[in-house]
Homo-oligomer: A and B are copies of this chain.
């Protein structure tokens, strides 16, 4: 599948490397490709600079955001939650028309210190705001409730644990689910919660996720819904 990933942070790069390794064709979208390509400071999550990483992943294409989405079967929004709407606006509704977008961003507000709070929640969600602003885009929310390493290697956590999926467009959810399966997610652990309003619930998992990180001292855990 031709997949464009918006965002060149640790999450975007983790997804890019792994999705490519399982056979997808990956384009990375960024505001300024030249500037991104020359970024030599180490990413605090991965310890690696973008320049170094990019040199080791020559099959990846790095493009300006608007150009990056052309021809994509799936767009993945891995930008910061507080930048997502701006990035999508800079691409423009025309280029997004009819596209499927897997939104993994969370509406985290770091402005009041740690832990971050949510800048939208309860009566709406970032995914709903994106869907509302770009009605021609088929938004699917998924993968936003776990660390990047678990997104791409679900088998790294023993036993069953879930990825939540929601969105208003069935075929877009099916495309997303195909990609999840290519990453190793089992059908029985992919939980379809219905339309995009379910993103309120999954984005509101972030406060307890952050608290669990604090409690355990690592992010090697995931949510599982236990039932008979």
Contacts and interface: CB of A to CB of B under 8 A. Distances in A.
B157 A228 contact: yes
B191 A215 contact: yes
Contacts of A201: 207-211
Given A117-B123, A228-B158, A208 B215 contact: no
A140 to B, nearest CB: 16
Interface string A4-24: 000000000000000000000
A65 to B, nearest CB: 30
Interface residues of A, number: 41
Interface of A: 112, 117-118, 121-123, 156-161, 164, 191-194, 198, 200-202, 204-205, 207-212, 214-216, 220-228
27 contacts: A117-B123, A121-B122, A121-B204, A158-B226, A158-B228, A192-B215, A193-B212, A194-B214, A198-B211, A200-B207, A201-B207, A201-B209, A201-B210, A201-B211, A202-B208, A204-B205, A204-B207, A204-B208, A205-B205, A205-B208, A212-B225, A220-B227, A221-B227, A222-B225, A222-B227, A223-B225, A224-B225
**Chain A to chain B: the 10 pairs with minimum beta-carbon distance, closest first:** A201-B208, A221-B227, A161-B226, A201-B207, A204-B204, A224-B224, A224-B226, A201-B211, A198-B211, A200-B207
